[in-house]
Amino acid sequence: MKAVLPFLLALCLALGVTGGKKFKVDPKKSKVYGPGLEPHKIVYPARYLFIEPHDTKGNRIQKSLGANSFKVQVEGQSSEGTYCRVWVQVLDRYDGTYVARYRTYQTCRDTIIHVLYNGQHVGDSPYKIQDPVYSEHCYCPEGDIEAWQVAVGCPADYPQVTRDLAPFPQVDFDSILNAAAKRFDAAGSRSFCNYVVKNNQMYRKCYGQHVGFNMFMDNILQSLLRKMLLPDIEFIINLGDWPLVDPKVKPLLPIFSWCGSEDTADIIMPTYDLTEATLEMMGRVTLDMLSVQSNNDIPWDVKKPKAFWRGRDSRRERLDLIDLARAHPHLFNASLTNFFFFKEEEEQYGPKEKHISFFNFFDYKYQISIDGTVAAYRLPYLLGGSSVVLKQDSPYYEFFYHELKPNVHYIPFKRDLSDLVEKIEWARANDDQVKIIAENGRKYAQENLMPRDVYCYHAALFKEWSKRLTSEVRVRPGMEHVPIEEHEKRFGSCRCHRLTRHDEL
């Protein structure tokens, strides 16, 4: 009997059967949409589009049709007359929808995107693009920030940007830089970089001993500069996790950081983790906001009704969590993976657990998000998965936290963990309601934490920041020019049609 079960499951998926119901997919009534259909206008490291299957009555199918149900092909001619090198993946989100993503490595012309279901074209496929399609590493600005925002479809504003910049209606950066150098230039404990963008070129000077994280700022700035003409701007970015700006100390300094807190006044950007996952998608990272939606096919009703957590010992509450888990093994699967901050307590709270794939976290219904040194940067991925998030109350926040609503997008628990057991027991007793919260959190991530949103937020922040600078933006003495990374010559010439030959040189 065991040998027959895999065969029956595969047969059901092939027939489009879920829960005893057979779906008849209508390729023409099904929908295909997303920025990946406009690759000539919208350049991301990995373009992506969505497939939404509908049946013959026009009803959306909300169950998986199987991982291999849809095929996507991206074809084009390189500048040298050969086939374009394009890598394509189709990801099953197990809710009836699919994500197709593709990465181009050279300029493609006469590009055609085929979206197929059982050999039949879906929606308005094939999609034909007349204009050139450029790779991520082509320098080919669409226009200024406003033109790019319109082309991409960015939101009109971001309340968090407005809130963060409100204390800085006018900024004389000459005085700001001097004050920051005196206040924060502590080589052993704090590191930051002063960036200038002038004539769409990047310059920086870093302060402190540990400045390796400047690569994250370099990479996103380079990616933005290839896509749009940024205004001349100057800013300081904190290279550490802890926010720096004490609002009680005057003058108030505008420092860009990846994490904020309720008792500091830093200007928040998307974290380096989420940004890197966007830039390296289909590259050297495996966990990103698309992959996390497609790597666990266990239905809600089959997930284990326990709270799951893995992480290092970067906060005392994480050790407290281990105590709770040991006292209530029927409610938790929680272990530490590394000891550093509380190494002297390893014997009590160990042994260290072996690595488990992040995608396997979602074998469990309840995911615990608990602060590390600051906010836990994994929250976007936990929201984008297929479980519900239980989030610790915290003064720390990322750029999107203030949009999340407790008991709508996640289940909150107290900072000291005193009600965590109670919240898990409530979740187990209210499964239908908790499933809705899980779906809301996932929907929020799908609509607000995708690659488009990471780029749009940076663009909006830099645009609004540029309006506040009153001093002349200039390249300061001692600054290093960071040239924009060039398109790989082995993949042929970029040949941006928006630039003159002089611009390219």
CB 380 within 8 A of CB 277: no
Q: What is the pLDDT of residues 227-242, one digit of tens each?
A: 999 999 999 999 999 9
Q: Is the dihedral of CA 150, 454, 383, 122 positive or negative?
A: positive
Query: In angstroms, rounded to a whole number, what is the distance separating the alpha carbons of residues 320 and 35?
Result: 44
Per DSSP, the residues of 205-255 read EEESS--TTHHHHHHHHHHHHHHSBPPPEEEEEE-SSS----TTSSSPP--
> What pLDDT was estimated at residue 197?
98
CA dist list (Å): 125 to 71, 88, 91, 122, 356? 12, 16, 18, 6, 40
pLDDT attached to residue 493: 74
| 3-state DSSP assignment of residue 117 | strand
Range(s) within the chain of domains with CATH label 2.60.40.10: 4-139
The closest alpha carbon to 350, from 364, 362, 358, 338, belongs to 338
- What are the tens digits of pLDDT across the range 284-308? 889 999 999 999 899 999 999 999 9
Fold of 291-449: Rossmann fold (3.40.50)
| C-alpha separations of 308 from 185, 289, 297, 428 in Å | 40, 20, 17, 14
- Give residue-wise pLDDT tens across range 166-221: 999 999 998 888 888 888 866 556 889 999 999 999 999 998 878 889 999 999 99
DSSP string, 52-94: E-BBTTSPBP-S---TTSEEEEEEEE-TTSSBP-EEEEEEE-S
Say what the pLDDT of residue 10 is.
43
What letter does residue 373 receive in the DSSP assignment? S
H/E/C letters for each residue in 293-361? Answer: HCCCCCCHHHCEEEEEEEEECCCHHHHHHHHHHHHCCCCEEEEEEECCCCHHHHHHHCCCCCCCCHHHH
Both tokens of residue 166? 């409100």
Measured CA angle at 418 (ends 415, 424), to 5 deg = 100
pLDDT of residue 7: 43
Query: Helices (DSSP H) in 53-204: which residue ranges?
Result: 145-152, 159-165, 173-184
pTM above 0.75, yes or no: yes
Q: For residue 410, what is the DSSP state? A: B
Q: Residue 320: phi, psi to the nearest 5?
A: -60, -35
What count of other Cβ atoms lies within 10 Å of the Cβ of residue 106?
25
The pairing of beta strand 21-22 with beta strand 233-238: unpaired
Q: H helices of 328-450, where?
A: 346-349, 379-384, 420-429, 431-448
DSSP class of 486: P
DSSP state letter for 133: B
Query: Residues in the chain with pLDDT < 70?
Result: 1-23, 185-189, 487-491, 500-505
Q: What pLDDT, on the 0 to 100 scale, is given for residue 273?
A: 97
DSSP 170: S
User: What architecture does CATH give domain 4-139?
Assistant: Sandwich (2.60)
Mean residue pLDDT across the chain? 92
**At residue 25, what are phi and psi to the nearest 5 degrees?**
-75, 135
Portions of the chain given CATH number 3.40.50.2000: 291-449
**Of the candidates 140, 186, 187, which has an alpha carbon nearest to the alpha carbon of residue 486?**
140
Whether the CA torsion 459, 462, 468, 474 is positive or negative: it is: negative
Strand partners, 411: 390
Q: Check residue 76 and give its pLDDT.
A: 95
Q: What is the pLDDT of residue 502?
A: 43
